Chains A and B, each alone.
Chain A
Amino acid sequence: MEEYSLTFGAHLLLWTFPLVLVVLVILEALLDRLKPESER
């Protein structure tokens, strides 16, 4: 039986993009918390 797999572009579209986006959003929120209250 033929084995199928996602292409490189499909990997990027299906899970790499959302994963990177979520990590960036979390990093942005963490960096924001590290700022002093007056700079937020």
Chain B
Amino acid sequence: MTPLEGSTLTTVAVVMVAYLGVLLFIGWRAAKMTHGGEDFHLAGRSLGAWSAGISSTASSESGWVTLGAVGMTFTYGVSGLWYAPGCLLGYLVNVYLVAPRLRPLSANQGSVTLTDVITQRWGDPRNVLRLTSTTIILVCMMGYVAAQMTAAGKAFSSSLGFEGRGGYILGVVIGAAVITLVTSLGGFRAVAWTDLFQGLLVAIALIVLPLYAIARLGGFGALVQGLGAINPDFLSAGGGRLGPVLWGFVVGQLGIGLGYPGMPHVITRYMAARDDRQVQRLQMIAMFWGVAVFYGAGLVGLAGRVMLPGLADGEQALMALALQLVHPVLAGLLLAAVISAILSTVSSQLLVAASAVSYDLVEKTLGKASDDHRSLVLGRWTVVVVGLLGILVALSEVRLVFWFVLFAWSGLGAAFAPLILLALLQRGVNRHGALAAMLTGTGVTVAWKLGRDAATNPEIFARVWWITVLAAAAILILGRLTRAFETADHVAVVAAASLTVISWWLVQQWGLHNLYELVPAFFLAGFAALAVSAITPISVEEAGK
């Protein structure tokens, strides 16, 4: 980002401090209303349509929407917008199929987390599903949280005028400390309310800025002429791509939407809605927010391409346009919107990771069931510990963690999205099928992603088949030693390992590496759930339903 100077820097810094103050105030207010475990993990199922709707959407879109999505159209023109229908189709599935079914199901079950929904839906007498689900969530979320803290730290240090390595550290610590404090004090309610505030800020920024920028250009016609003059391919839906490259790109961009039903930090918002009426009302709110934000981000990228010909990094277009076009106070608010998109996701993921540890592992798996007050205290301290770990990882910039981040969206989406859809819409799945789906989704995602990046990781990709066999053997031995596995669970592990190796083979044989990994992983995970359930039938009574 362009370094800020003089009075602009002072004004932007004042706006940033005010923005952080609002977050802390919301956290303090929410803390006063948080009295027990269910309050902390699910806001006591009390959210209205606006907070549930905007919180679900703001949590799902990280800094990606104000940085990456803007960069897509800046780089590729109109064809960079294919992510928008993909994401909006994901929203449609979430708010019209998942939310109306998930809220009453979780209320009837008394389930608090996504893992809870899965284990109670299919029964989990030996905690196999709970441990598998919690492990996948923790691995994906910790990497995600650390990466978002890194992004927030960079944005803060630029906005507040901090320089060098020391400035970066200060930026990470300020952003992460505020959001960890707010989340630990107010739990789910604070996260939902700060999401509402930040989500509205992001939406307003992405409506106002592109309209103003296009007006300054001389209207939409001038934007089209400007883009065509740079590259005529910027005005087509294919962007000059042809054949398999075009289809791989379009299917991959549309495939982003497949992940939404599997995001624990998103669908828990529907579980926290007060009643079915709130769910119906949040549908329109979420869809409108999505259209405004995705298309707003796309238009910012297009306008930025024409107005900022010297900008090297398209992902900086929103911030650069804000500083060039509007008064420093408004620019400060627009920069706050960029950071809001990041922090609203961090807080949600922080809470999901903490709930996975304090609720799913300590309270449920280890059986340290405590009273409501102890559950609240445990939750709060877990958020602090997870937040500190996130800060440490962000500051140390451990490469392995950021490697995991690459899998976070597709890994969570493939492991949980088909499972949640099957849990809500399909009756023919049992707990062994559920285990197969989670393992297959994760395995295929990693194998396919490595295949897509085979040029950068050729050694690891070549060893995928035997790493998969070793991992499957380790899981089977662990299941045997702990006596947690039933015979049918062995079938699930073998099926998941087989599908992972087959997908690895397919990537090489058919040259399918252009295809986004979530697409094959999603469908293979769904297939694994149905196939394993078909060959390992268990009675309804046994399933605990």
CA distance A7 to B232 in the complex (A): 10
When the two chains form their complex, are residues B225 and A4 in contact, meaning their CB atoms are under 8 A apart?
yes
B225 CB contacts on chain A under 8 angstroms: 3-4
Pick from A12, A14, A29: contact of B284, CB under 8 Å: A29
The total of chain A residues at the interface (CB under 8 A) is 21
A10 CB contacts on chain B under 8 angstroms: 78-79, 235-237
When the two chains form their complex, are residues B284 and A25 in contact, meaning their CB atoms are under 8 A apart?
yes
Q: 1/0 per position for B269-285, CB-CB distance to A under 8 A?
A: 00000001100100110
Residue A9 is within 8 A (CB to CB) of chain B in the complex: yes
When the two chains form their complex, are residues A7 and B237 in contact, meaning their CB atoms are under 8 A apart?
yes
Q: Specify the main secondary structure of chain A where it touches its partner.
A: helix
Nearest-CB residue, chain A, relative to B291: A18
Q: How far in angstroms is the closest Cβ of chain B from A25?
A: 5
CA distance A18 to B284 in the complex (A): 13
CA distance A25 to B287 in the complex (A): 8
CA distance A24 to B78 in the complex (A): 23
Q: Which of B78-106 contact A (CB under 8 A)?
A: 78-79, 81-82, 84-85, 88, 92, 96
Residue B228 is within 8 A (CB to CB) of chain A in the complex: yes
When the two chains form their complex, are residues B237 and A4 in contact, meaning their CB atoms are under 8 A apart?
no
A17 CB contacts on chain B under 8 angstroms: 84-85, 88
Pick from B78, B280, B291: contact of A22, CB under 8 Å: B291
B229 CB contacts on chain A under 8 angstroms: 2, 4
B84 CB contacts on chain A under 8 angstroms: 13, 17-18
CA distance A36 to B224 in the complex (A): 47
Pick from A3, A9, A21, A40: contact of B291, CB under 8 Å: A21
Residue B496 is within 8 A (CB to CB) of chain A in the complex: no
When the two chains form their complex, are residues A2 and B283 in contact, meaning their CB atoms are under 8 A apart?
no
Interface size classification for chain B: 20 to 34
B249 CB contacts on chain A under 8 angstroms: none
Pick from B85, B277, B284: contact of A40, CB under 8 Å: B277
When the two chains form their complex, are residues A21 and B287 in contact, meaning their CB atoms are under 8 A apart?
yes
Known: A6-B235, A13-B78, A22-B288. A29 touches B283 (CB 8 A): yes
Q: How far in angstroms is the closest Cβ of chain B from A34?
A: 13
Residue B295 is within 8 A (CB to CB) of chain A in the complex: yes
B232 CB contacts on chain A under 8 angstroms: 4
CA distance A40 to B30 in the complex (A): 31
Residue A5 is within 8 A (CB to CB) of chain B in the complex: yes
Residue B238 is within 8 A (CB to CB) of chain A in the complex: yes
When the two chains form their complex, are residues B284 and A13 in contact, meaning their CB atoms are under 8 A apart?
no
Residue B227 is within 8 A (CB to CB) of chain A in the complex: yes
B298 CB contacts on chain A under 8 angstroms: 14
Q: How far in angstroms is the closest Cβ of chain A from B103?
A: 14
Q: 1/0 per position for B208-252, CB-CB distance to A under 8 A?
A: 000000000000000011011100100111100000000000000
Q: Which of B289-320 contact A (CB under 8 A)?
A: 291, 295, 298
B283 CB contacts on chain A under 8 angstroms: 25, 28-29
When the two chains form their complex, are residues B78 and A40 in contact, meaning their CB atoms are under 8 A apart?
no
When the two chains form their complex, are residues A13 and B82 in contact, meaning their CB atoms are under 8 A apart?
yes
Nearest-CB residue, chain B, relative to A9: B237
When the two chains form their complex, are residues B237 and A40 in contact, meaning their CB atoms are under 8 A apart?
no
When the two chains form their complex, are residues A13 and B81 in contact, meaning their CB atoms are under 8 A apart?
yes
CA distance A27 to B215 in the complex (A): 31
Q: How far in angstroms is the closest Cβ of chain A from B513?
A: 25
When the two chains form their complex, are residues A25 and B288 in contact, meaning their CB atoms are under 8 A apart?
yes
Q: How far in angstroms is the closest Cβ of chain A from B499?
A: 34
Nearest-CB residue, chain A, relative to B281: A29
B288 CB contacts on chain A under 8 angstroms: 22, 25
CA distance A14 to B210 in the complex (A): 14
Counting chain B CB atoms within 10 Å of each CB, the highest count among A4, A5, A7 belongs to A4
A40 CB contacts on chain B under 8 angstroms: 276-277, 280
B79 CB contacts on chain A under 8 angstroms: 10, 13
Q: Report 7 cross-chain contacts, Cβ distance below 8 Å, ordered by A residue.
A: A4-B235, A6-B224, A7-B235, A13-B84, A17-B88, A28-B96, A29-B284
